Amino acid sequence: MRDGIMDFAIRPMRVEDLSQVAEIERQAFPTTWPPTPFRRELGNNLARYLVAWSPSAKGVPPSLRGDEQSTSDSWFQRLTDSVLSLFGAAPERLEPETHGLVVGYVATWFVLDEAHIISIAVRESLRRLGLGELLMMAAVELSMARRAQRVTLEARVSNLAAHALYEKYGFARVGLRKRYYSDNNEDALIMTADGILSPAYQAKFQALVEAYHQRRGHAMRILA
């Protein structure tokens, strides 16, 4: 962290990231077979893939800085305004030197008014730095901007640390998927955050984001 700014940022996944993303998937989910067809998924209009990355020495692109945002705008309006072309073309291509090191990714599917976080993965050497929480926050922000009413995800029943993190962000335990994980037939806990567009949830979420910034530094994010 430098001057209160986190060393990592969020942006949409790009074709140029795919070799790094595949490496992270192998580290996080070594028994997944076949591998996720990320190239094809980037063209899936129902899915959005975001990456956490470490920018190059040239710094974060201006589109990620957010330093021109008006402080008088409401938090939710700033969030909504920052998400452009959600259903249209991909954002303008970043210059190669801005790609940096991809350190994690989050995959989210959108169906009607529901968002489903399919996977969150972080590079093995950079875990326990709050990157999983950063990716989850970005997925929830994107879900809000796309006007989803709720977000659902699955977690291994044995992953107590993940349960605690998700519950902190308002996810409640709503069910169980028996023998969901093929590597060891472990059950999956289904967790849902409902009413994410409500003023009460948005106030809670904003407070959690600000607390994260206090602990880790401000994380610059572009969601689309």
Q: Residue 64 domain-assigned? A: yes
Please provide the DSSP assignment of 141-191 as one string: HHHHHTT-SEEEEEEETT-HHHHHHHHHTT-EEEEEEEEEETTTTEEEEEE
User: What is the total count of domains within the chain?
Assistant: 1
Of 208, 5, 215, 13, which Cα lies nearest the Cα of 129?
Answer: 215
Q: What is the pLDDT of residues 112-152, one digit of tens each?
A: 999 999 999 999 999 999 999 999 999 999 999 999 999 99
Q: Residue 114 domain-assigned? A: yes
Query: Which ranges constitute the DSSP H helices of the chain?
Result: 18-28, 38-41, 62-65, 75-82, 131-145, 160-168, 199-216
The pTM (predicted TM-score) of the whole model is 0.81
Active site includes 166? yes
Q: Looking at the predicted structure, is the pLDDT value of residue 177 above 60?
A: yes
Q: What is the pLDDT of residues 59-86, one digit of tens each?
A: 334 443 333 343 334 555 555 554 433 4
Q: Residue 140 domain-assigned? A: no
Q: Residue 14 domain-assigned? A: yes
Q: Residue 110 domain-assigned? A: yes
Residue 106 lies in domain: 5-128
Catalytic residue among 49, 133, 141, 166: 166
Q: What is the pLDDT of residues 159-174, one digit of tens each?
A: 999 999 999 999 999 9
Catalytic residue among 25, 141, 154, 169: 154
- Whole-number mean pLDDT of the chain? 85
Q: Residue 206 domain-assigned? A: no
145 contact partners, CB below 8 Å, separation of at least 6:
79, 80, 82, 83, 86, 223, 224
Q: Residue 73 domain-assigned? A: yes
CATH code of the domain covering residue 78? 3.40.630
Q: Residue 38 domain-assigned? A: yes
| Residue % of the chain over a pLDDT of 90 | 72
Active site includes 180? no
